[in-house]
Amino acid sequence: MKLKALITASVATSSLLVLAPNAMAAPSPEGLYFGVGTGFSSLENDDDDVDDFIESGSEDFDVDDDDNSFKGFVGYNFNRYFATEAFYADLGRVELKGNDTANTDLESEAYGVSLVGKLPITNWFELFAKAGMAKWETDIDGNLGGASTDLKDNDGVDPVYGAGAQFNFTPFLVRAEYERYDFDSDYQVDSFSASVGWQF
């Protein structure tokens, strides 16, 4: 699944490189933009942390934490160095495999706003870093055998931050980025994605 998402993102990026070789130009220093992306997510915590997060009362499970992720964003450039973004992210599924056929799926999503600082390297290439707050929800479905079957869904509002690089094929944009969704100390999700978008 992860390989499929990366291939899709690579094909989309390559298509823009082929179709718009002469479109590399400085984007408007002010204006609206939006985009969509795909990639993969990965959980940074161990079994003990995840047990605390879902309050299962058991540590007898294995964690399968790599899955496809998807995102959408809309932002506004105030100038070449500063922007704000609103975003939604489907962070995929983490599977907990217990004894026999027992298993539990944790599916997470988040939405929020970020402040974006940009460093133009050329007219058509820039680096960026961002930080913001995300409203997140993790739906928990299943059981872990002898553990409590009343596993609790979880939600909250916590920081999200990341960094990446963006190519400007005016009016198109192509970006690759890393993001950390810091749900709490027991559940931190890393997301790696490639996105395409449009600048106005």
Mean pLDDT by 10 residues, the chain (200 residues): 48 46 62 96 82 67 82 96 97 78 82 97 96 93 60 86 95 97 86 96
Tell if the pTM clears 0.75, that is, is over it. Answer: yes
Residue 13 forms part of a structural domain = no
Residue 85 forms part of a structural domain = yes
Q: Tell me the pairing of strands 103-120 and 31-43.
A: unpaired
Q: SS3 for 49? A: helix
Matching residue, tokens 């056929």: 101
- Give the pLDDT confidence score for residue 33 in this predicted structure: 97
Q: Which domain holds residue 173?
A: 31-43+65-143+150-199
Counting the structural domains of the chain, the total is 1
Cβ 165 vs Cβ 120: under 8 Å: no
- Give the pLDDT confidence score for residue 101 in this predicted structure: 61
Query: Could you tell me the CA-to-CA distances from 156 to 88, 159, 181 in Å, in that order?
Result: 15, 10, 11
Residue 179 forms part of a structural domain = yes
Within 10 angstroms of residue 171's Cβ, the number of other Cβ atoms is: 16
Q: SS3 for 8? A: helix
Residue 120 forms part of a structural domain = yes
- Give the pLDDT confidence score for residue 58 in this predicted structure: 59
Residue 168's DSSP bridge partners are 173
Token pair for 10: 């690579």
